[in-house]
Amino acid sequence: MRFKKLDLNLLVALDHMMTLTSVSAAADKMFMSQSAMSNALTRLRTYFDDPLLVQVGKRMELTPRAEAMKPAIRDILVRIEATIDTQPEFDPTVSTRKFNVLVSDFTLRVLMPHVVAEMDRQEARVRLNLLAQSESPFLTLERGDADLLITPDIFISPNHPSTLLFEDQYVVLACGKGPHSKAHIDLEAYKTLPHAIMVPQSSDGKPAESLILERAGITRNVELSTFSFSALPHLVVNTGRIATVHRSLAEIARQTSDLVIHPLPFDAPVFRQMMQWHSYREHDPGIMWIRDVFERAAGNLTSHS
Give the pLDDT confidence score for residue 305 in this predicted structure: 52
Instruction: State whether 78 and 128 are in the same domain.
Output: no
Give dist(CA 94, CA 92) in Å, integer.
5
Give the pLDDT confidence score for residue 30 in this predicted structure: 86
Q: Which 3 state secondary structure label does DSSP give 84?
A: helix
Instruction: State whether 75 and 109 are in the same domain.
Output: no
Give the pLDDT confidence score for residue 293 in this predicted structure: 97
Instruction: State whether 55 and 108 are in the same domain.
Output: no
Residue 204 confidence (pLDDT) above 60:
no
- Whichever domain contains 227, its CATH number is 3.40.190.10
Give the pLDDT confidence score for residue 2 in this predicted structure: 54
Instruction: State whether 244 and 258 are in the same domain.
Output: yes
Residue 136's φ and ψ, nearest 5 degrees, are -125, 80
User: What amino acid is encoded at 216 in this protein?
Assistant: A
pLDDT band of residue 207 (cuts 50, 70, 90) is confident
Instruction: State whether 9 and 155 are in the same domain.
Output: no
Does the residue 90 lie in any domain? no
Instruction: State whether 185 and 263 are in the same domain.
Output: yes
By percentage, how much of the chain surpasses pLDDT 70?
93
Instruction: State whether 175 and 253 are in the same domain.
Output: yes
Total number of domains constituting the chain: 3
Does the residue 259 lie in any domain? yes
Does the residue 201 lie in any domain? yes
Does the residue 297 lie in any domain? yes
Does the residue 147 lie in any domain? yes
- Quickly count: other Cβ atoms within 10 Å of residue 36's Cβ: 11
Q: What DSSP element (H or E) covers 60?
A: strand 59-62
Residue 128 confidence (pLDDT) above 60:
yes
Q: What is the DSSP string of 141-173?
A: HHTTS-SEEEEEGGGS-TTS-EEEEEEE-EEEE
Does the residue 78 lie in any domain? yes
Residue 61 confidence (pLDDT) above 70:
yes
Instruction: State whether 10 and 68 are in the same domain.
Output: yes
CB 163 within 8 A of CB 233: no
Give dist(CA 21, CA 257) in Å, integer.
47
- Whichever domain contains 45, its CATH number is 1.10.10.10
| The last residue of a domain, from among 28, 55, 83 | 83
* Predicted model pTM: 0.74
Does the residue 89 lie in any domain? no
Does the residue 91 lie in any domain? no
Residue 40 confidence (pLDDT) above 90:
no
Containing structural domain, residue 74: 2-83
Instruction: State whether 49 and 78 are in the same domain.
Output: yes
pLDDT tens by residue, 271-303 = 999 999 998 888 889 999 999 999 999 998 865
Residue 122 confidence (pLDDT) above 60:
yes
Give the pLDDT confidence score for residue 300 in this predicted structure: 87
Residue 68 confidence (pLDDT) above 90:
no
| The last residue of a domain, from among 58, 83, 108 | 83
